Amino acid sequence: MRKNKEIDKNPLWTRDFTIITLGSVVSMIGNSLSGFAMSLMVLDYTSSALFYAIYVMAFTFPQIVVPIFSGAIMDRFSRRKTIYTLDYISSAFYLSVGILLHNGWFNYPIFALMVFMLGCIQSMYQVAYQSFYPMLISEGNFSKAYSVASMLESVTVFIVPISTLVYNAVGIGPLMIANAVCFFIAATVETQIKAKEKYVEDRKIDKKENKVKMMLSDTKAGFMYLWSEKGLFFIALYFLFSSFGGGVSNVSLLPYMKETMPNGEYYYLIIGGMMMLGRVVTSSWHYRHKLPIDKKFLIAFLVYIFISIIEGSLLFLPLIMMFTLSFFSGCLGVTSYTIRISATQSYVPDEKKGRFNGAFNMLSVLGALIGEGVAGVLSTFMDMRFVMLTTQMIVLLSAVFIMGGKRRYIAPIYNREQ
């Protein structure tokens, strides 16, 4: 009875949490409509896994450098204003590009440059969102909140098949314009968030302070903080390797399916759909149940091992096994994600979240970029199945030696009430 009263005092679905959730859902729907269609368009125009890898890298590369500086900025300026301003900018961007593409324009180098600009916007948004979202979660509800976020993100991915059908029927222009509308709605909703950002006043810039010097100083402080917190450092280091494996999968799976199977993009969608179904089912379970506090690290560690094995062997299996294991990969992935994100975001103080998320994202994106480049090059002379197998074994070893070897630093962060 006492526990229920405590929960009532700290409800998850506050006004601001509901608004940020609705806004993020709308923008995710827009991204689901246009994102996969953009990938198909690049493959259709270039018919090259290497050019596809370059396109993916153009989006990924700015997410290495931008988070370093944007993380420092987010600890001094309003994250709320940054979020809805970037959503308005994204709306204008997608509207402009959508109109151009609908009128038949396509130039690969210029399009890659536009995608690079989009990557800059996305990387700033991610740092702002990741640093602001935890501030809207009431005490004791971190695991539940991130299970909601993961479940909604997974649900919106089921829109991808619709975008594929629309793309094949009328092209990508209407999808980009629809995405612009979604971002405009999301930004407008997000302007209604009323949460106080106390850290802004605490760290307000003095007018006489050199802004460039301040930003460089804060950036350095972010990495120093990450280095001083050994548990956070080793978690970030592992995710550099994990993202490396993810980068390889990003540029290997779709081209392989499209090249080796008739209508391979639809099988690719089924694989992604099964993974998302697993995430939805497991996220709903996490919303209602809590994992044993003292077992969270062990669960996450085992998940990292199993996911590497599944990802590495996926392309060697018959389709029915691919679909089945993708479902279990989704179940496992959302479990480790919920443990990791709720643990780190509840552990890091509000005034340091921007710098931590900026540094963490930089390392993760660096790993993804390296993986995308390696996969793009290796795909020109090596079977993509073995590319994925080899790289996932590297990820598996990193889990063993980093997460397992440095357990004494990491487990106290994971095994906490959040």
* For residue 124, pLDDT beyond 60: yes
pLDDT in tens, 353-404: 777 877 787 888 889 888 888 887 887 778 888 989 999 999 999 999 999 9
pLDDT in tens, 288-330: 888 888 899 999 999 999 999 999 999 899 989 999 999 999 8
d(CA 415, CA 204): 35
d(CA 62, CA 57): 9
pLDDT value of position 250: 81
pLDDT value of position 350: 75
* For residue 225, pLDDT beyond 70: yes
Confidence class of residue 3 from pLDDT cuts 50, 70 and 90?
very low
Among residues 32, 336, 355, 328, the alpha carbon closest in space to that of 225 is found at 355
pLDDT mean over 112-126: 84
SS3 string of the chain?
Answer: CHHHHHHHHCCCCCHHHHHHHHHHHHHHHHHHHHHHHHHHHHHHHHCCHHHHHHHHHHHHCHHHHHHHHHHHHHCCCCHHHHHHHHHHHHHHHHHHHHHHHHCCCCCHHHHHHHHHHHHHHHHHHHHHHHHHHHHHCCCCCHHHHHHHHHHHHHHHHHHHHHHHHHHHHHCCHHHHHHHHHHHHHHHHHHCCCCCCCHHHHHCCCCCCCCHHHHHHHHHHHHHHHHHHCHHHHHHHHHHHHHHHHHHHHHHHHHHHHHHHCCCHHHHHHHHHHHHHHHHHHHHHHHHHCCCCHHHHHHHHHHHHHHHHHHHHHHHHCCHHHHHHHHHHHHHHHHHHHHHHHHHHHHHCCHHHHHHHHHHHHHHHHHHHHHHHHHHHHHCCCCCHHHHHHHHHHHHHHHHHHHHHCCHHHHHHHHCCCC
pLDDT mean over 140-158: 76
Q: Which of 50-54, 74-78, 105-109, 243-247 has the highest mean pLDDT?
A: 243-247
pLDDT value of position 157: 67
pLDDT value of position 152: 77
* For residue 406, pLDDT beyond 90: yes
Judge contact between 355 and 218, C-beta under 8 A. Answer: yes
pLDDT value of position 6: 44
pLDDT value of position 51: 81
Confidence class of residue 7 from pLDDT cuts 50, 70 and 90?
very low
* For residue 30, pLDDT beyond 90: no
Looking at per-residue pLDDT, the higher value among 185 and 64 belongs to 185
* For residue 418, pLDDT beyond 70: no
The pTM (predicted TM-score) of the whole model is: 0.69
Confidence class of residue 2 from pLDDT cuts 50, 70 and 90?
very low
Mean residue pLDDT of the chain comes to 81
* For residue 90, pLDDT beyond 80: yes
